[in-house]
Structure 1
Amino acid sequence: MSDVLRTDYTGEGISEAEVAATPWEQARLWVDDAVARSRVQDDVPEPYAISVATVDGAGRPNVRTVLMRFFDANGPGFVTGTQSTKGLEIAATGGIAAALTWPAMFRAIRFRGVAEQLSRDEVAGYFGSRPWASRISAWASRQSQPIEGRQGLEDAYARYAAQFPDHGDPADVPVPDFWGGYRVVCDEVEFWGGRRNRLHDRLVFSRVAPGPLDEADAWTLSRRQP
């Protein structure tokens, strides 16, 4: 690759002196910064885009990008088809890792731990907040399953749109029984800050006791080399 593009990262990084007392506080600060920037600049178009990695029963990894739809001191969460590849791999091994990455800000957060299925009430509450068309799409798509051509997907969408017409009520479209969500129950949360000359900052909160992301006694902080 003789045409490699080299960009020197000009971020401010992150230091032990400025990092928040808990991984939740620090993650919330950076997520809020990314959302604020997305509203005034076009270089962070999807601040909640999160890459999710799972492992199958043979130990082979899979990664894909979804949208973070839950975020609190219990960990980041997302919705998906429970019979999708990610859902089946979570059921098989439970292991999960996820990353929020904002290249324009020279920042990333990495979460590692185990996946916990969201309650039906949490899933239903979020599902009802989605636009009608998105709720119909959840029925139309059997995630990760093969399909012959785009038309099959369009036909399924039209079929469910007719079955569940839009009357402006969240109850117009029920939650599919094959649709759910997961939360990353973290053992480790890393904050990466890009800096010049590839001397990036990596500050890592590691779990030392039970507790959510906002419980200081559950975590210890260390620095890793870039």
Structure 2
Amino acid sequence: MRVGYGGGIPPNVGDGDRAAGADGVRDNLDPSWLRGDPPWLDLFGVWLREAVEARIPEPNAMVLGTVDPNGVPNTRTVLCKGADASGVVFFTGYDSDKGIDLAANPVASVTFPWIALERQVHFRGAVVPVGPEDTETYWRMRPRGSQLSALASDQSRPIGSRHELEAKAADIAARYGGLDGDDPIPVPADWGGYRLEPARVEFWQGRANRLHNRVRLSLIDGIWQAARLQP
């Protein structure tokens, strides 16, 4: 069951206005849906929950865009591991391509592409490392196999073969008692979290005939301002 927002159909609308996209919501996305502090958080939470309920694969997957030291953009898909009023959080190696880009240019964009629901949410803003306590807390929540793989991998660096990669992982696993061992696995020194602190958030809702709905929030002088954008 999809959840609508913004009340009923406005008076004097045409059939095109009534046509729902694949999200199943009859009502058109409107700036009035964005409320709270910050005003993007509640609607983002609803859309994320509905993506989970719709059983979209990896509903917390987001396309992360960074800029390398030479000014060349780079995108890849990562998993969002937290979202609150401060922003969205992900984890990676500090010496990975992502980490190198963010050290040179600490700004990024992320997109949640819930295509099956004809919904997207875009974030843009500064990126800051999360504190070591937050990294440690998340690390302890990770499956043991994921911890071992992160410790074994020199992320983004070349390796000769899959066999060599698996051998590295096996050596690390043996050092800490294997997948079923009890020895705690330390957080790698070159691994941790980042938080994108949004200055711009855009919600996109697919509509009939490509007459899509776009609503953008911009943080200007500490105040969030909403505007409808043409598709």
TM-score normalised by structure 1 residue count: 0.86
SS in 2 for 1:172: coil
2:33 counterpart of 1:18: yes
Which residue in the other structure is 1:74 paired with?
Answer: 86
- CA positional deviation for 1:159: 0.7
Letter in 2 for 1:106: E
2:134 counterpart of 1:122: yes
Bigger Rg over Cα? 2
Letter in 1 for 2:77: T
5+ residue gaps, structure 1, are 1-7, 39-43, 211-217
Letter in 2 for 1:89: D
Q: 1:32 aligns with which of 49, 53, 72?
A: 49
SS in 1 for 2:137: helix
Which residue in the other structure is 1:213 paired with?
Answer: none
Change beyond 3 A, Cα 1:121–1:168: farther
- CA positional deviation for 1:9: 5.0
- CA positional deviation for 1:168: 6.2
Change beyond 3 A, Cα 1:118–1:137: same
Deviation string 1:78-124 (CA, Å, 9 cap, x unpaired) is 00011000100000011200011111111010000011101111111
Q: 1:193 aligns with which of 180, 191, 205?
A: 205
2:98 counterpart of 1:86: yes
- CA positional deviation for 1:17: 3.9
Deviation string 1:145-164 (CA, Å, 9 cap, x unpaired) is 00111011101110110111
Q: 1:54 aligns with which of 66, 85, 91?
A: 66
Q: Judge conservation of contact 1:81–1:180 (CA < 8 Å) in 2.
A: yes
Taking every aligned residue pair, what percent have the same amino acid on both sides? 38
What pairs with 1:93-172 in structure 2 (closer than 5 Å)?
Answer: 93-165=105-177, 166=179, 172=184
Letter in 1 for 2:54: R
Q: Judge conservation of contact 2:200–2:217 (CA < 8 Å) in 1.
A: yes
Which residue in the other structure is 2:230 paired with?
Answer: 225
SS in 1 for 2:71: coil
SS in 2 for 1:29: helix
Runs of 4+ in 1 over 3 A off after TM superposition: 8-13, 17-21, 166-169
Distance in 2 (CA, whole Å) between partners of 1:58 and 1:143 is: 20
Q: Is 195-204 or 29-38 further displaced after alignment?
A: 29-38
Q: Judge conservation of contact 1:10–1:196 (CA < 8 Å) in 2.
A: no
Distance in 2 (CA, whole Å) between partners of 1:193 and 1:46 is: 19
Q: Is 20-29 or 54-63 further displaced after alignment?
A: 20-29
Distance in 2 (CA, whole Å) between partners of 1:192 and 1:20 is: 16
- CA positional deviation for 1:59: 1.2
- CA positional deviation for 1:36: 2.0
Higher RCO, Cα 8 Å, sep 6+: 1
Instruction: Give the aligned CA root-mean-square deviation in angstroms.
Output: 1.7
- CA positional deviation for 1:19: 3.7
5+ residue gaps, structure 2, are 1-19
